[in-house]
Amino acid sequence: MAMFLENTKENREIRNVVTTMALEGMYLDEEFINELIKVSKGEKTSEELRQEIIKKYVRH
């Protein structure tokens, strides 16, 4: 399913991140892209997102 974002500077930057990650073989799902959007809107910090990712994927 394709995601459509308004053509804003912030969304173009997110699109560039998604594209760059895909070129490296790392595909971001819609849930993670939505988290990036929250960061771009100031709803959470990049550090908060980073900590959530670490917590989610840490090996015990």
- Treating both helix axes as pointing N-terminal to C-terminal, what angle do 30-40 and 46-57 enclose, rounded to 10 degrees? 150
Q: Is residue 31 part of a domain?
A: yes
Q: Is residue 44 part of a domain?
A: yes
Q: Is residue 1 part of a domain?
A: no
Q: Is residue 17 part of a domain?
A: yes
3-state secondary structure of 6: coil
Look up residue 8 and give its two tokens: 């804003």
| Domain span including residue 14 | 9-57
Q: Is residue 4 part of a domain?
A: no
Please state the length of the chain.
Answer: 60
pTM of the model: 0.78
3-state secondary structure of 43: coil
Q: Is residue 28 part of a domain?
A: yes
Question: Structurally, how many domains does the chain consist of?
Answer: 1
Q: What is the per-residue pLDDT across 2-37, written as a single tens digit (0 to 9) for each?
A: 677 788 888 899 999 999 999 999 999 999 999 999
